[in-house]
Structure 1
Amino acid sequence: MSWDSVFALTNVIALGGWLLLAAGSRGPRTMALVLYAGVGLLCLAYTAAFVATFGGLADPVRLAGAAEPVLSDYSIAGLRALFMSDAGIVIGWTHYLAFDLFVGQWIAKDADHKGFSRPAQLPVLFLTLMAGPVGLLVWLVVRERRARKAA
């Protein structure tokens, strides 16, 4: 399977999870589907891509002249070396997709628990989908008053 195919597949999995969060029933089955068929599959794809790339099982398709990445080098130069390959982009993107969907599910559960309507949740969920930490920050600010009131 090409890196383009893995990239497309991870996007489809994530979009399915986000659509369930936005329009699904939010019952236990739906939330389990988001967690295991969404977040879980993305984590599995991440793990497989990571192992295949760093285990030498798959060609990372590096840009011409790009240095080979070193797993222990978390400097800007080290991360640049990782992201100068198709594998690095797919691994990084899948990481974002998995964590953003997990955070989106937490926000949805927390919002339901605190009595926020679905229309009030949708802009925060959209922000989390598009810019994860921005959506999370907005949610943390918005939820504060109700969280204190509940405590």
Structure 2
Amino acid sequence: MGIKSFQGKRDTSQTNKAEEQILVSDYMTTKLITFKAEDSLDDVIALLIKHHISGGPVVNDKNELIGIISETDCIKHISESKYYNMPSDINNTVGNNMVTDVDTIDKNMNIFDAAFKFLASRRRRFPVVDEHGVLLGQLSQKDVLKAALKVKGNTW
């Protein structure tokens, strides 16, 4: 006598759900506050405070990502100039204080692969660019958490 399975009929819809990917493009923010290299840091600081953000992408006239400016970059400038009561000068621009070596993320990356990239890099957000370097949006750690809430436990 053979062994019978008591599991019942298998649900094949679960295997299809597991194959579906949740992409960065599904959860990235596309309405971003961006900055130009020629913007003054005083203007940047005012916008960071007004919009309750800690930084933003710096783009050129073609909307290509050229850097990131953050609160830390602004504080560094303040500590070097205003603390010593030095006048604002040409160094008071985004272009002179931004970070230009920026890690980006692809819009077609799986959102959970992006989560591992967050853990490995200890970054709070990644700009999303296309193959030409044009800024498409931004993925934050909070966006990954939103995606995780919408996913059923069995698709992890």
TM-score by length of 2: 0.26
Larger fraction in strand? 2
When Rg is computed on C-alpha atoms for both structures, the one with the higher figure is: 2
The structure richer in helix per residue is: 1
* TM-score with structure 1 setting the length: 0.26
Q: Higher relative CO (CA 8 A, sep ≥ 6), structure 1 or 2? A: 2
